[in-house]
Each structure stands twice: as C-alpha cells, then as structure tokens.
A and B are shown apart, each in its own frame.
Chain A
Amino acid sequence: MTIYSTFKTDPARLRRRLLALLLDWMSWGYVAYGVMYFLNDYWWRIPLERFYTTLTLPPWGWPAAVLGTLAMAILCELTGYSLGERALKLEVKEERPLTKEEFLMGRAAGKPFWRTQWGVMAVLLLALTVALGWHIVKIDLEALFRPSRRAREMLGEIFPPDFRYFLVPDPAFELRGVPYSILNLMVITVFMALLATVLGAAVALPLSFFGARNIMGFSPVGWLVYGVVRGFFNVFRSIETMLWAVVFAIWIRWGSPLAGIMALTIHTIAALGKLYSEQVEGIDPGPVEAVVAAGGSRLEVIRYAVLPQVVPSFWAFTLYRWDINVRMSTVIALVGGGGIGDMLFYYKNEGEWALLGAVVATIVAVVWAMDYLSGRLRERIV
C-alpha cells in the first residue's frame, strides 16, 4: 500500500493528478449510476416505465451521490494505484532493489493486472457495462431465436425477391405523380452520390490549402484563416449527413433529391477537407524548399511542390468518399433526401416483402460493385 505523504507542487504534475482524480470520480459516478439504475428498475417502479426512471432519486440523493463518489475516488487515489493514475501513468515506484527471486520470476514486470487496484476496478466497470447494457438495450435472446409470426411471414415472402418492377415502373409507387422502376431510381441514387462527391471535392480542394498549417504560414492572417477553415471542417463534420438531410428537406422539399445532394455535399466538403488538409500538412518539405529557392511564388509552390505530392492520396480519399456517399444515398430518403430509399421505405410500410427484397438486392449489388471498383482503383493509385 502506497500512501502519498508528500504533495509535489509541480504544476504539470498537479494537473495530471487532478485529471486522474476526475477520472476516478467519473468511474465511481458511473458505478453509482448503475446501482441507481438497478435499484429503480427492480424495486421502486413498475417495469413498463423503467426506461424513463433511470435518474429518479430522492431529494437528498443527489448531493449524497456526488459526495459519496468523490469520497470513493479520493480513497482510491490514496490507497494504491487507481484506475485514473493508471490511465495517466502516474506511478510511484517503490525504491528498493528487486530480490533475485523477483527478478527471475518476472515480478519486475509487475503484478498481474487482476491483482492490482486498477485492474479490479476496470473489470468491475466492464461487468457493470455489460449488465447495464443488457437491461437498457432490452436484450432478449428468446425474441431473437424465436421470431414472431410476422417475421416468419416476411422470411417466407422475401425469398425469392420479386423483380417485377425492376425495369417496368410500379404503377402503385409514384413520386410527384411519376411512377418509377427500381432501375431508374437506383440510377438517380448513384447520380446523387456522384454529384455530391464531385461538388464536395471541388469545394474541399481549394479550401484544404487554407486549412493547412504549412501553407498558411504563421502571420496573424494566416492563423485566422487556418482557424476558421479548420473550425468549419470540424463543426460540419460532426453533424451527421442524416441531420443535414433533415435540414435541407425542410428547406427545399421533403423527398427532393437536391436535399439529399446538398446534405451529402456539405458533409463531404467537411470530411474531405479535413483529410486533404492533413495530407497537405504531411508533405515532404524538401520540394517546397527547392521551388522557393528557385524563386517560386506561393501559387507556384502549390502547383509544383505540393500538388504532385498530394494528388494520389487526394484521389484515394475522393474515391473512398464516393463509396461512402453511395451507401448513404441509398437510405437518405428516410429523412427526406430522395433516391431509392423512397421506394424501400414505401414497400416496407406496405409490407410488400417480395418487392422490398428486390430493392434490397439491387442496392446490395450496386453498393458492392461500387465498393469493389473504388477499392481496386484506390489500390491502383496508392
């Protein structure tokens, strides 16, 4: 047992110690949450409401939980090598030489993790997560292995898929008064992905140079532009394509392919822009020096020293993105983005499983082919 008798005042170390304490506090908080969840679940509430009662506490409960977990965390910090300390590698070594026996049998390499405090804690957290996950997600193996009657019906109908409307438009399924066939909608879907990728790459390409540290230099203006462009990439990238699709579907029209294209484009710009600019930052500075030494301007540096180095990986990223966009465009209709998804969800709502099977089979074939194609091309380029 290691007791910390001295408190070093080194600020960097202090910060790490506080971080470790925070981590321990959070893990005990998590334990407390788990305990509360199970208590609520089993004793206090009727099962139907369990989902919404996870955070129900008596009035004195909140301060008690906060202080109790903090106390536990401090206790852990004081009595051994806690999980937080392990994560931040704040080890206090015992100052004594190893005995010959310890050296021989590998004690020097450390105790097995299940005999250390952090190891026990980690295992506890893991077990808690599994138990909590089991309940929160309502895992029910019986339901999985004994499917409902509806499921058996669906399975019976979905094989073989009914390709009746592959070439011929289905009169029952209309978008803005025009009936579509599977093939026509699939082509439109692929075109959506194509436009989004081309547009996105065309915008991301010039932007990426403004988001590269080594191109923008270190003047205040450079910092500002760099910060703004990188911030744009980061913020827009963390907003899912599906959310963008919602926005544009409201903006333009529910079910318009343009909404889907815009959503995919925005996300593509941000994602590709980040990848591109990281690539530009990772170039070999040698050629840049050479062009600068030969008297090249900044544009000439980009044209002759930067572009040749990054073009192959730009292509690879773009192809990768194209692949993602094709996948996304097949389901973006769910949130009003248009494409084959419209048909997919129409058949699902109608319960036309055989027709749905044909749509899914077409999607699989196209996505698989695009995946293969872009994979092969990327291998070729890199």
Chain B
Amino acid sequence: MAPRYPEAFVHEKPEWTVWNRIADFLYFGLGNLRKHLSIALLDMGGIAILWILTSYVIIRLSTGEIGYTLVPWWAFGLGVAEAAALWESFGRSFGHRVARVELRRVDGGDPALHQRFAYWLLWHVSVLPLVGLLFSPPLHERASGLALRPFTMEGRTPKPWWRTSTGIYVAWLMGVALLAAISVTISWEDLVRLFTRAGTTAKFWRSFFSPDTSIILKTVRALIVTVFMAMTATAFAVMVAVPLSFLAARNLMRGLIGRSIYTVIRVTMSIIRSIEPVVWAIFFLVWVRVELAPFAGMLALFVHSVSDLTKLYAERLESIDPGLIEAITATGANRLQVLRYAVIPQIVNPYISFTLYRWDINIRMATVVGVVGGGGIGQALFFYLKGNLWTQAGTVMLFIIALVWAIDYLSARLRAKLA
C-alpha cells in the first residue's frame, strides 16, 4: 500500500524520480520508526521503573539491604519487553496515552481478540528487531489489520482513572516510589530526634534577636564581597551569553551547519547547567590558587550563569514575533538590518529582566558557593559553623537573610517595571 498522499501529489506522481521515492521512504519510514519506537520505549521504561521500585521496596523491607531486581538481569529485560508487548496489544498503554493514540481496526471498529493476539505475536518480529517499523504501515499492523489512530473521546463515556490501566500504573508507581523513598531516607531515630530535639536550635534563634555586634563590620565586608561576586559573575556572563544565545536559537540557526552549532551549544549548556555552582566552585578552587577564593567563586557562578542565561535568552529568541522579521525583510533589508530592527527591539527588555533574575539567583548562590571556600559571607558562615560558634553563625545568617530579601525585593520591583 502506498503512503496516503494528499490529492495534489497524486496528480504529480509522474514527475517523481527514484530519489524522491527514497526520500519519501525515509521520511515516512523514519516517522513511523520514531512514533512506534517512542511508544515502545516509554512503555518498557515505565514498566522497568515500576519493577525496579517494587523490587527495591520488597528487598529493602525484607532484608534492609539495597537491591534493584529480584531476578537476574536478563530475566528482567525479557520480562519488561514482554509486559510492554502485552500492554500495547491488549490495552491502551502508557505510551499510547502519551502519544494520544489508540489501537483500532483499519476500518475504524473495535479490535477483535484474535486481531489483538496476532498483533501481540507479530510485535516480537516487527518492533523488537526494528525492521518492521521501516514499512508504512509497519509489518505487525499490516498483518493484523490494526492501526494506531488518534484517540478521540467521541462516543465514549469517560472511565474513572482507577479503571484505566495507566491510572492503575501511575498510582502503583507513586505508591511504591513513596514507600521506597520513605524506607531508605528516613530512619526511626531521626524521626524521634525531629520531634524531641527542637531545643538544640534554640541558641541559633536566640542570636537572631541578640546578634554578636563585634563581628558586624567584618560580616558587612564579607557581604560586600558576596554582592560583588554575584555582580561581576552576572556581568561577564551576560557578555558571553548574549552572543551565544543567537547561536543557540533554533529559529535563527537553519541549515545543516547552523543546526549542528545549535545542537552542540545546547547540549554543552545543559550539561554545564546540570552541575551545581558549588561543584563548579570546587573545581575552580583547584584551578586558580586557593588564595583567590572570591575569584574562584565568581568563576563558578559565571560558568553556571552563562549556561542558564544562554538557555533563557535563546528560548526568548525562539518565541519572538516572526511578523516583524517579515515586515523588515519585505522592505529589502539585509540580515544585519533585520537583526537590528526586527530582532533586537523585541528582546532588549526580556533580556534585562532575565539578567536581573539571574543576578538575584547569583546573590543566593554566592552565599552558598562561599561555604565550600568560595569567599564572601558563605565562607564566614562555614567558619563559624565549623567552630561551633552558634551565636556568630546566627548573626551571619541574619545578614544573609536580610541581603537575599532585599535583593529579591529590588529585582522583583525592577522586573515588574520592565514588563
């Protein structure tokens, strides 16, 4: 069966070359592959997670050890694949629900049991080795007379969630996940301490009302260092992130080269962003000399800010109004002029607003980065904590709270003005 072309293309068939046929095969075949594979992977992944969590809870509660499967790994793999096949053939699976499709007969009716059975059997030779998916429609669908069709509620009565397989699945998953989480992170002694030892923090709170005045000047100086760390980090990050954001915006980077630059930048940035500034600070404290603590902290904030700002900026660029670009292009303007008159006016305010937001975050982060030795007020806090100097630590915390609150307020006010 030929793919379903719109009318226009059926008329133009004679003009089509072999290359067009190959390109067409790839386009529709890869589309199929992507659709079926993502559904299958979602189902298998979902079942695997459920299995692992359930085993985790059983092992944890019965032996107190940590383990992930009750059976050998090969049995686990086979079981997951088989369960996914059954779920997809005899019900509306999690993957189907995510893709908003369901299994129907080609003529639109409800699938008969023998058809579902055939679908299930053929699933193993079509989906598992992937070859069947390159055909359009895929082999197992063709042979069983079933197809994945967009799901509609038309003519159905909605079922309550606990009677759908996905509903049961999600509820079970949540249940075991919470059970596993509680069993592994919370111990009885800790809970008892939580409810009986609140008094240990009293010395802390007391210092909030009677701060140690002898360290105020020192604390203010450390605070200034923290503020400047955040400010310089943000400023330098903006200088790097603004040009990068243009290279990381999908709508501006077209073509093969453009797309590869886009992908490389986006992936790098998301990796950098996944590492907390604290970890970056550890790295930079080794990189530059330890005496340059604020500089190392600043570099940590800088690296994290660059990746975060690039993402925020690029997303903003991706959502600019294409109408203005059209209008300026239509006047005969070249690329640079379009950039200057159609793109930049749309992004200036959001960029400033994002920068302020990031500055706000950087102030918070700068206090945290200090704790690993990144300079500023965080370092002072850690120093007092290590020395069990609770009053002084409480005083420093009081200052941190005041600073963060003030900056938060300021940046929110300024951003409200910009919007």
Inter-subunit contact A262/B194 (CB<8 Å): yes
Q: How far apart are B107's CB and chain A's nearest CB, in angstroms?
A: 31
Contact of A75 with B by CB under 8 A:
no
Report the contact-size class of chain B (Cβ under 8 Å from the partner).
Answer: 35 or more
Contact partners of B225 in chain A: CB under 8 A: 51, 136-137
Inter-subunit contact B201/A139 (CB<8 Å): no
Inter-subunit contact B221/A52 (CB<8 Å): yes
- Which residues of B345-399 have CB atoms within 8 Å of chain A's CB atoms? 364, 367-368, 371-372, 375, 381, 385, 393, 397
- Which residues of B184-204 have CB atoms within 8 Å of chain A's CB atoms? 184-187, 189-191, 193-194, 197-198, 200-201, 204
Known: A132-B228, A246-B385, A261-B186. A368 touches B274 (CB 8 A): yes
On chain A, the number of residues with a Cβ less than 8 Å from chain B's Cβ atoms is 64
Interface majority SS (helix, strand, loop, mixed), chain A: helix
Contact partners of B194 in chain A: CB under 8 A: 251-252, 258, 262
Instruction: With CB as the reference atom, state the residue of chain A lying closest to B409.
Output: A238
Contact of A363 with B by CB under 8 A:
yes
Contact of A224 with B by CB under 8 A:
no
Instruction: With CB as the reference atom, state the residue of chain A lying closest to B225.
Output: A136
Contact of B292 with A by CB under 8 A:
yes
Contact partners of B372 in chain A: CB under 8 A: 334, 345
Contact of A151 with B by CB under 8 A:
yes
Binds B, one of A64-72, A112-120, A187-195, A312-320: A187-195
Contact partners of B229 in chain A: CB under 8 A: 137
The residue from B217, B298, B299, B404 contacting A240, defined by CB atoms under 8 A apart: B404
Contact of B294 with A by CB under 8 A:
yes
Binds A, one of B23-31, B118-126, B153-161, B173-181: B173-181
Inter-subunit contact B235/A130 (CB<8 Å): yes
Inter-subunit contact A194/B287 (CB<8 Å): no
Contact partners of A52 in chain B: CB under 8 A: 218, 221
Inter-subunit contact A138/B292 (CB<8 Å): yes
Inter-subunit contact B184/A133 (CB<8 Å): no
Contact with A along B282-293 (1 / 0, CB 8 A): 110011110011
Inter-subunit contact A239/B401 (CB<8 Å): yes
Inter-subunit contact B228/A137 (CB<8 Å): yes
Contact of A13 with B by CB under 8 A:
no
Inter-subunit contact B184/A344 (CB<8 Å): no
Contact of B83 with A by CB under 8 A:
no
The residue from A242, A256, A258 contacting B371, defined by CB atoms under 8 A apart: A242
Inter-subunit contact B286/A154 (CB<8 Å): yes
Inter-subunit contact B274/A139 (CB<8 Å): no
Inter-subunit contact B221/A55 (CB<8 Å): yes
Known: A198-B178, A238-B404, A261-B186. A252 touches B197 (CB 8 A): yes
Q: How far apart are A182's CB and chain B's nearest CB, in angstroms?
A: 12
Cα(A363)–Cα(B275), bound, Å: 7
Inter-subunit contact B185/A261 (CB<8 Å): yes
Cα(A129)–Cα(B224), bound, Å: 12
Q: How far apart are B66's CB and chain A's nearest CB, in angstroms?
A: 5
Contact of A327 with B by CB under 8 A:
yes
Contact of B260 with A by CB under 8 A:
no
Contact partners of A214 in chain B: CB under 8 A: none
Inter-subunit contact B197/A251 (CB<8 Å): yes
Known: A195-B182, A246-B385, A251-B194. A140 touches B288 (CB 8 A): yes
Contact of B251 with A by CB under 8 A:
no
Contact partners of A194 in chain B: CB under 8 A: 177-178, 181
Contact of B102 with A by CB under 8 A:
no
Known: A52-B221, A130-B235, A238-B404. A147 touches B185 (CB 8 A): no
Contact of A253 with B by CB under 8 A:
yes
Inter-subunit contact B286/A137 (CB<8 Å): no
The residue from B182, B232, B276, B292 contacting A330, defined by CB atoms under 8 A apart: B276
Contact partners of A364 in chain B: CB under 8 A: 271, 274-275
Cα(A252)–Cα(B231), bound, Å: 36
Inter-subunit contact B286/A151 (CB<8 Å): yes
Contact of A29 with B by CB under 8 A:
no
The residue from B180, B217, B286, B288 contacting A144, defined by CB atoms under 8 A apart: B288
Contact partners of A246 in chain B: CB under 8 A: 381, 385, 393, 397
**A to B CB contacts below 8 Å, 7 in the list:** A55-B221, A191-B181, A195-B185, A198-B178, A252-B197, A253-B193, A363-B274
The 4 tightest CB contacts between A and B, nearest first, are: A191-B181, A133-B232, A367-B274, A257-B185
A133-B231, A334-B372 known, 11 other contacts, Cβ within 8 Å: A137-B232, A138-B295, A147-B288, A150-B286, A238-B401, A238-B405, A243-B397, A256-B187, A256-B193, A262-B194, A368-B270
B: which residues have CB within 8 A of A?
56, 66, 98, 177-178, 180-182, 184-187, 189-191, 193-194, 197-198, 200-201, 204, 217-218, 220-221, 224-225, 228-229, 231-232, 235, 270-271, 273-276, 278-279, 282-283, 286-289, 292-295, 298-299, 364, 367-368, 371-372, 375, 381, 385, 393, 397, 400-401, 404-405, 408
A: which residues have CB within 8 A of B?
51-52, 54-55, 129-130, 132-134, 136-140, 143-144, 147-148, 150-151, 154, 184, 187-188, 191-192, 194-195, 198, 238-240, 242-243, 246-247, 250-253, 256-259, 261-262, 327-328, 330-331, 334-335, 338, 344-345, 348, 360, 363-365, 367-368, 371, 380
